[in-house]
Amino acid sequence: MPELSRRRALTAAAALAATAGTASALAPQAAAAGHRPGSPAAFDEVYKGRRIQGRPATGSGHHHHGAGYAVFVDGVELHVMRNADGSWISVVSHYAPVPTPRAAARAAVDELQGAPLLPFPAN
């Protein structure tokens, strides 16, 4: 294995600096588009006859536990929360963590069994 020369060390440092500069330059563009780094992608689909939607939440004035993410079932907000381990739970399926907000919406539809989702009062 070749020895690490000063030239190779400086080349590697320059490459790391360029990569870090590109990542920090792209972060504001992603935030301006409404997508936070690490935030799940938006979705809009019909699942078992119910329309489920999810998207990064905008600042609506009340506190979101869903890490800045809003989920809706037939247009009614399904309150979701991200756990410390990265899993998601909802007010409907609170004891069954799932990997994504889409999975939380699907689990809520399954649990509702055709019943409408009622608005959850915000404190």
Instruction: Give the integer Cα–Cα distance in Å for 43 and 57.
Output: 13
Give the DSSP H or E segment for 8. helix 6-32
Task: Tell me whether residue 47 is exposed, middle or buried, using C-beta atoms within 10 angstroms of its C-beta: 0 to 12, 13 to 18, 19 or more.
Answer: middle
Per the structure, the complete domain to which residue 90 belongs is given by 43-112
Q: Are residue 48 and residue 74 in the same domain, yes or no?
A: yes
* pTM assigned to the model: 0.65
Per-residue pLDDT 10s for the chain (123 aa) are 456 677 776 676 666 666 655 555 555 544 444 455 567 999 999 999 999 999 998 765 445 455 689 999 999 999 999 999 999 999 998 899 999 999 999 999 999 999 999 987 765
118: Cβ contacts below 8 Å, ≥ 6 apart: 76
Structure tokens at 13: 């440092």
pLDDT of residue 50: 97
Residue 103 lies in a domain: yes
Selection from 42, 15, 37 nearest residue 27 by Cα: 37
- Count: domains in the chain: 2
